Amino acid sequence: MHKLIVLSTLFVSTAFAGYSVSSTGALPAEAAAYASVVSEKGIRVVKEDGSVLMDVWFAKTLPGGGTPEDNTAFPDLPNGAILGIAHFPERHSDRRGQTIKPGVYTLRYSRYPVNGDHMGVAPQRDFAVLSLAAKDQDPAAQPNYARLMSMSRVASGTPHPLVLSIWQEDQSPASAIEEFSENETILHTRIGMTQFAIIIAGVHEG
C-beta of residue 49 within 8 angstroms of C-beta of residue 34: no
Distance separating alpha carbons of residues 81 and 73, to the nearest angstrom: 14
For 146, the enclosing helix (H) or strand (E) is helix 145-156
* Residues whose CB is less than 8 angstroms from the CB of residue 66 and which lie 6 or more positions away in sequence, other chains included: 74, 75, 76, 77, 78, 79, 81
What is the Cα gyration radius of the chain? Answer: 16
User: Considering the domain boundaries, does residue 155 fall inside one?
Assistant: yes
pLDDT in tens, 65-123: 877 777 788 888 999 999 999 999 999 988 888 999 999 999 999 998 755 454 444 56
pTM of the model: 0.84
Specify the 3-state DSSP secondary structure of 23: strand
pLDDT at residue 91 in the model: 93
Residue 171 lies in a domain: yes
85 within domain boundaries: yes
Give the separation between CA 136 and CA 88, rounded to whole angstroms.
16
Q: Which amino acid is at 114?
A: V
In 5-42, which positions are buried (b, 16+ CB within 10 angstroms) versus exposed (e)? bebeeebeebeeeebbbbbbeebbebbebbeeebbeeb
Looking at the domain assignment, is residue 206 inside a domain? no
Give a yes or no: residue 18 inside a domain: yes
pLDDT of 198 higher than 80: yes
Mean pLDDT of the chain: 82
Number of domains in the chain: 1
Note down the domain range covering 181: 3-201
